[in-house]
Amino acid sequence: MMLDDQNYSTNPLNTLSLSLPAFGQREDPFDAVRKIADEIGPRPVTSLAEAQTAAYIGSRLRRAGMQVWTDPFKSSPASGSSALIVALLALVATLLWPFSTVYAFACAVVTLVITILSTSPRLMLWGLHARESQNVFGIQHALNLPTRRVVIIAPLDSHQPKDALGSNQTRIGATTALFTLMSIELLAPFQIPILVRFFFLLIPAIYLLIAAIAELWVRSQPHSRGAVSYAGSLAAMVTAVEDVGRLSHTEIWAVGLGGGTTGAGIAELIKRYPFDNNATFFIGIEGIGRGTLSYILRDDGERYRSADPLLIELVTEATLGVQAAPSVAGFASFIRPLTRAKRRTISIACLDQSGHVPLQGSRNDVIESVNPALIEQTARLIANTIRALDPLTF
């Protein structure tokens, strides 16, 4: 059901008037993993498989008693072409330098600008080859006057193999180094031989070319089936909704996020739904099904605790009877944009000893690798947390 003309997030919590489906019986969480990872399979961003997953999650949320709708949006499928353009421009700038300083410097400026633009998730949505993706939503209303929302989020798509060379940070770093060296050479030339200067300029350009070739090779590889990331996460989300039921004062949202691996879906969510900061709590579900069940205090690159203190306290209490531990993640959570926007968030994930989600992007991320008990534990942890939040006054 399409309700794109509504913006529920900006309405007062007690003004929604929607018909409520009857609640259904609890379904086996592993059925969702089997359906998504085995029957639907790999799920690239903007693909038919991602759309099929959205439709399936929508049907599961509807059967759980939620009001369901879909928000389509334009997104660019992951591609390594921009990295190759950056690398070739950097190489041209370096080769032109001994012959035409002005032209080479202009190429370096363009290289830096394209690098920054092409690594921004929000700006990638403006790509020339944009296709349709979607976020699927479910709302479960409170029995009485609602005073807060809980938004549970899990991505619909699955990963490609990891690219160890061509990350956004290293591409920006290399092009910034090239631009800085050329700026110094233009404004205050080094008193060193021209061949030595040329060699120093060539280093970042050659790196970018090697990284671009590596990225193109990675992008040519098939996507993972994503049983852990993110079929297990989606299964935990719908099971938590089924388990928690309708609460007295808490409105529950469940969001199947399109473009979870590229950041497109979370950017669209933030743009369309400016939720109230104090009364809205976000729970992001990373890879679930293998490793140690954890609630993340902060992720890679964050110096201080980024999870909401109240959510940390509630999740800690909810671990009674659930084997889950506080952890520091070795990666950037897909809900980091919400954290940086000072929203009240926490991430739930199964982690390995290095703080990463096991098998992410691997061909071994199949249903045989999933421990169904971890999905049940995650759903119980989330349901217990939401129940503990419901009676609080603040």
Q: Is the pLDDT reported for residue 104 higher than 90?
A: yes
Instruction: Give residue-wise pLDDT tens across range 42-58.
Output: 999 999 999 999 999 99
Number of Cβ within a 10 Å radius of residue 26: 12
10 is written with which tokens? 């900006």
Q: Mean pLDDT for the chain?
A: 87
Q: List, in sequence order, every beta strand (DSSP E) within the chain.
A: 67-75, 131-140, 148-155, 250-257, 280-285, 292-298, 325-328, 344-351
Q: What is the pLDDT of residue 15?
A: 37
DSSP state of 41: -
Q: Are 204 and 177 in contact (CB under 8 A)?
A: yes
List the chain domain ranges.
Answer: 24-78+129-161+223-389, 81-123+163-219
Q: Is 60 exceeded by the pLDDT of residue 80?
A: no
pLDDT digits (tens, 9 = 90+) for 223-258: 999 999 999 999 999 999 999 989 999 999 999 999
- Of the listed ranges 14-18, 128-132, 303-307, the least confidently predicted one is 14-18
Residue 266: its pLDDT value, please?
95
Q: In this predicted structure, what is the pLDDT of residue 313?
A: 96
Structural class in CATH, domain 24-78+129-161+223-389: alpha beta
Q: Starting at the edge strand that comes first in sequence, how are the strands of the sheet with 148-155 ordered? A: 67-75, 131-140, 250-257, 148-155, 280-285, 344-351, 292-298, 325-328
Mean pLDDT of 7-20: 41
| Lowest mean per-residue pLDDT among 17-31, 59-73, 97-111 | 17-31
- The predicted-structure confidence for 356-391, as pLDDT tens digits, reads as follows 999 998 999 999 999 999 999 999 999 999 999 999
61, 254 contact by CB (below 8 A) = yes
Q: Give mean pLDDT, residues 291-313.
A: 87
